[in-house]
Chain A
Amino acid sequence: MKDADDQSAAEPAAADAPSELSEYARVAKAALAGVSPEPGAKKPDPILTASGIRRAFGGIVAVDVEHFEVQRGSITALIGPNGAGKTTFFNLMTGFDKPNTGQWAFDGVSMDGVAPHRMAARGMVRTFQLTKSLTKLPVIENMKLGATGQKGEKWWNGLFPWRWKAQEAEIEARADELLKRFKLDHMRDEYAGALSGGQRKLLEMARALMTDPTLVMLDEPMAGVNPALKQSLNQHVRGLRDLGMTVLFVEHDMDMVHDISDWVIVMAEGQVIAEGTPDDISSNPAVIDAYLGAHQGKTLLEDQV
């Protein structure tokens, strides 16, 4: 079983990797090549660092992360079984929830106590596990909402279109460009509620890009997306790295994780239990234990004895 996995993972990498890898991917992989695959590993150029992050709900410790770093310009996957605390950790990093203890810094600046709405202006943007498309707004309005620093969003400017019309046109042009890239331009004037589930995922990602982020955090981008669209979503996520952004994503779809990530961080029961390149991870016994349980392969009888 383990051997078969290794082979299937190794083959495509050997065949396709040299031709397929972009400049950015090579840089990211090279930077991470020297990092030792152990929990809490230090990265050469981290964009997001966190240490001693602990969040308890009543008596249950949902997140207890000793150290956590994300390499700039990489695609980092955060995986783990259900209830591992991945989404909670996401919420803590983006200010949607506050840890009981711990420090974390984005781009070298401490994020302790920074309100979630200030994150976007600093270059950190997130999406949600349950897609949050604003269904009763047209697709293009959804997109335009994403732009930060809009003059027309101040109420005292709202009444005077000449103060924001120029900026609005600029934003609209940028939105149209992104819609084209995500192949949503034909739905431009439809309500977001008329989009399919997969299209909503794309819209949410495109809308997040309107904030001009440096770190994009995607919470389960593949959940509920059909296989055909998964391929194109993969391409889009790779495309983010190739535009110089850093991507951190939570995912259950191991094919995707293996396919696109440069680095994988595994959480279980609130803690980081393993880190490494996708190949390291798929052969790591601690990860297999966490996903399948330590007693896999043994019979029930053996356990009882």
Chain B
Amino acid sequence: MDIGAVFENAILQFIGFNACYYAIAAIGLNVQFGYTGLLNFGQAAFMAAGAYGVGQTVSIFGISLWWGVAIGIGYAVFLGLLMGVPTLRLRADYLAIVTIASAEIVRLIVRSVKFRDQFGGTDGLKGFADAYQDVGVRIGLEPAGEYGFWIFTFSGRNLWNLMVGWSLVAIFGVIVWRLMKSPWGRVLKAIREDEDAVRSLGKNVYSYKMQSLVLGGVIGSFAGMMLALGNANVQPDNFSRNLTFFVLTGLVLGGVAKVTGSIIGPMMFWGLYAFLDSLLRELIDKPVRIGDFTLMQSTDVGVVVYMLMGILLVVLMVYRPQGVFGNKKEMAFEGR
């Protein structure tokens, strides 16, 4: 068994591309869920908005890729308003229902045959990311070249993705951190605690909730753009429920209502995933049997890893409900 390779995989995933676009999505989700208390179970839809925004530019509209950023933001704002207008006046659970349904509706629309000409159907969109990759080449990163040291060696293309991705993480991390230190952030946190109290003090709660939902959604759309540009394609089934809940898992793992938690949580999620996955693959080189019954074989690893992650999350919630970076003192007042 090569334990070195296991750790190597884990570390590379910890700082890898998956962790990076998950972190962007989690920063956005944290604005809505962590700070404002909005149960957004449709972050995947916002990510799809961003991804299809950049994807459609070259492939469908035939315009420059960079318009995609504006289009993606536009889609995300539209989606946020669409979900928020009917639900934000109601109790929190209605938003949860509407967002989870909207995310599925978005995914079914973009993969439908009917809108194939707009969204590319089940094949998705591809061949739009050249302009983005050219920038990497222009700053001296050869797509096929090898860069880095020790285990941290990446192809030029990967390195470019990581550089852009982690820069976005840093930018959005700083923006959200500063916003939450401002009086605006104070209102959001107060809304999370008690809407009516905030309303009685003269704040338009509905408007603040809308701002939070849209801002979180727009940040989420950047995660989608990053995913689309990094993979150089958009696949409708990337934006399933799993994506939303994995992002949420990462956020909870790291600790809600903390910017550090929303960044390091997804990193831990992917680091842990890679660690368990490689470890199990190393251990199960031949099927494990009890008598005639096959307990586990190498094809089961993927499923078992998710089971183990689930158990770990439950254990974490029992013994450290505030997440790894959460504020324990804050959690102490959960019961009011």
Measured CB to CB, the residues of A under 8 A from B are 94, 96, 115-121, 125-128, 132-137, 141-142, 144-146, 148, 150-155, 157-159, 161, 164, 168, 191-194, 204, 207-208, 210-211
Contacts and interface: CB of A to CB of B under 8 A. Distances in A.
Interface of B: 175, 178-179, 182-187, 189-190, 192-194, 196-205, 211, 215, 329-330, 332-333, 336
Given A153-B184, A191-B333, A158 B178 contact: yes
A154 to B, nearest CB: 7
A148 B201 CA distance: 8
Contacts of A96: 196, 199-200
Nearest to B329: A191
Most buried by B among A94, A148, A152, A153: A153
B202 A136 contact: no
B182 A144 contact: no
B201 A146 contact: yes
Nearest to B180: A158
Contacts of A120: 200-202
A136 B182 contact: no
Contacts of B186: 137, 141, 144-145, 153
A81 to B, nearest CB: 25
B200 A153 contact: no
A220 B50 CA distance: 50
A132 B197 contact: yes
B184 A152 contact: yes
Nearest to A194: B333
A115 B199 CA distance: 9
12 contacts: A96-B196, A96-B199, A125-B200, A137-B189, A141-B186, A157-B182, A159-B179, A164-B182, A168-B183, A191-B333, A208-B201, A211-B201
A159 B182 contact: yes
The binding surface of chain B is classed by DSSP as helix
A116 B200 contact: yes
A225 B215 CA distance: 42
A142 B187 CA distance: 10
A117 B192 CA distance: 16
Contact of A155 (B192, B205, B215): B215
Nearest to A152: B183
Contacts of A154: 184
B202 A148 contact: yes
A133 B193 CA distance: 8
Kindly list the 3 A-B residue pairs having the minimum CB-CB distance in the complex, ordered from nearest.
A120-B202, A193-B333, A152-B183
Interface centre among A144, A150, A208 (most CB of B within 10 A): A150
B185 A134 contact: no
B194 to A, nearest CB: 5
Given A128-B197, A134-B190, A158 B330 contact: no
B202 A119 contact: yes
B211 A145 contact: no
B201 A207 contact: yes
Contacts of A211: 201-202
Contacts of A126: 200
A134 B186 CA distance: 11
A136 B193 contact: yes
A125 B203 CA distance: 12
